[in-house]
Amino acid sequence: MFIGTCICSGYVNKGEVTAKHLEKGLIFREVQKLQNTVFLASVLYPALLLWYIEIYSLAFGKPAGVQNLPDFCLLALWFIFGVLLPLLSFCTKNITEVRKDGIYIRLVPLNPLFKKIPIYVIEECKIQAYEPFTAKDSMDKTPSKRENFVVTLKLITGKRVVINSKNPKELQQAIMSAVANF
């Protein structure tokens, strides 16, 4: 478990995570924005509905269908589903770093610290086609349209770790060079 503070400090600037200074030994760094259109629609629909209900109730009184709902409950629902959840969906990023001593993964802003996979526990590293909905590997040469390529790590404990990446070849090369230099 990684104990201590994050050495590679960053700040958010117009939706991009920018490193102020990079740690020595950083081999690979990737920042993925986690914005999917289906997820975005499922977050924005209730948000827009609650914004409409709040504005309507401020201007004309409570609309039909929410007459029995207390004002503080309606305000709490608006704040959670109309403000916090859309803001959280726009700010969520997955940061993957390969350093000389391990692989660090962080889901910003939900994880305050990086999760570390030490280099010495990696037994095998390969790229595979992966079906995210069924969690099955595909060994076929022709993957379906829903499959994407991921880096699969086999640890010495027998566990398997799947890391999604926009550039799985570069991530695998960085992991293999870190393992070779360890």
Half-sphere exposure of 64 (CA within 13 A, CB side): 0
As separate numbers, helices (DSSP H) first and strands (DSSP E) second, the chain gives 4, 10
Of the two residues 31 and 131, the one the predictor is more confident about is: 31
- Whole-number percent of the chain with pLDDT over 90: 38
**Position 87 pLDDT exceeds 80:** yes
pLDDT digit string, tens, across residues 96-155? 999 988 999 999 888 889 999 999 999 999 998 877 666 665 555 454 555 688 899 999
CB atoms within 10 A of CB 51: 16
- What average pLDDT does this structure show over 57-80? 87
Whether residue 100 is found in the same domain as residue 171: yes
Whether residue 64 is found in the same domain as residue 115: no
Whether residue 56 is found in the same domain as residue 132: no
The pLDDT value recorded for residue 145 is: 57
Q: What CATH code is carried by the domain that includes residue 96?
A: 2.30.29.30
Whether residue 58 is found in the same domain as residue 69: yes
Instruction: Tell me whether residue 3 is in a domain.
Output: no
- Whole-number percent of the chain with pLDDT over 70: 78
